[in-house]
């Protein structure tokens, strides 16, 4: 499918918000996963780099041309706008009030927005507090963290199968 046809096609009602993601390769990988599951849009916030950039292009493999995206400096502002627009906002973070992704069960007709944070600091606490829910992935190794591109792929895949009208 061409990027033009992709942009015109039906989307999964899922938005991704990247909160101060520093790795350009992670940004590109998130674009690629967003393309695979027809994500509605990506918001790039704070220090998160924006296309066009050679390092993003290397991992995105053209997905920056097919997936809608927008840069907004303030992540909290984006989350508040998404809440007001009826999206269920979910911080992907290890936190006290988090629930396991396996147990997260939005309604089939839900609109969902996920927020992924900085590779070292995670999602800003004010943003976590503004989200409707906090989701984490079980981990049983010694590192207790996943690369955000890997985490994004897992979460996007899971939510796609829970809410997408495309499947």
DSSP letter for each residue of 30-52: HHHHHHHTTEEEEEEETT---SS
Tally the domains of the chain.
Answer: 1
Predicted confidence (pLDDT) at residue 145 exceeds the cutoff of 90? no
pLDDT tens string 3-23: 788 888 899 999 999 999 999
- How far is residue 87's CA from residue 77's CA, in Å, rounded to a whole number? 14
Q: What is the mean pLDDT of residues 52-68?
A: 94
The CATH number assigned to the domain holding 38 equals: 3.40.1280.10
d(CA 92, CA 133): 9
Q: Which range of residues forms the domain containing residue 125?
A: 3-163
| The two three-digit tokens of residue 2, written as one number | 């061409």
Asked if pLDDT for residue 154 goes beyond 90, the answer is yes
Span of 61-65, 84-88, 140-144, 146-150 with lowest mean pLDDT: 140-144
Cα 160 from Cα 167, distance rounded (Å):
8
Residue 92 banded pLDDT, cuts 50, 70, 90: very high
Name every residue whose Cβ is closer than 8 Å to that of residue 32 and which is 6 or more positions away in sequence. 59, 60, 61, 63
What's the first-to-final CA gap in the chain, in angstroms? Answer: 17
Distance CA 121, CA 110 (A): 29
Q: What six digits make up the tokens of 157? A: 């895949």
What pLDDT was estimated at residue 122? 96
- The span from the CA of 25 to the CA of 35, in Å, is 15
Of 122 and 145, the structure prediction assigns the larger pLDDT to 122
For residue 85, what are the contacts with CB-CB under 8 A and spacing of at least 6?
111
Bridge partner list, 98: 134
pTM for this model (two decimals):
0.96
Compute the distance between CA of residue 66 and CA of residue 38 in angstroms, rounded to an integer: 9
| Mean of all residue pLDDT scores within the chain | 95
**39: which residues sit within 8 A by CB, 6+ positions away?**
11, 12, 14, 15, 16, 33, 67, 156
């Amino acid at each position: 499918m061409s990027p033009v046809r992709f942009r015109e096609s039906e989307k999964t009602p899922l938005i991704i918000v990247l909160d101060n993601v520093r790795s350009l390769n992670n940004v590109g990988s998130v674009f690629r996963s967003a393309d695979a599951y027809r994500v509605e849009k990506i918001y790039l916030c704070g220090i998160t780099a924006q296309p066009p950039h050679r390092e993003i292009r290397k991992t995105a493999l053209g997905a920056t041309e097919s997936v809608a995206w927008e840069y907004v400096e303030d992540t909290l502002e984006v989350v508040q706008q998404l809440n007001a627009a009826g999206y269920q906002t979910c911080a992907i973070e290890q936190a006290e009030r988090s629930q396991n992704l396996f147990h997260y069960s939005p309604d089939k007709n839900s609109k969902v927005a996920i927020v992924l944070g900085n590779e070292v600091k995670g999602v800003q606490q004010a943003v976590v507090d503004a989200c409707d829910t906090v989701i984490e992935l079980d981990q049983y190794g010694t590192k207790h963290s996943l690369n955000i591109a890997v985490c994004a792929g897992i979460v996007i895949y899971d939510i796609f199968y829970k809410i997408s009208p495309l499947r």
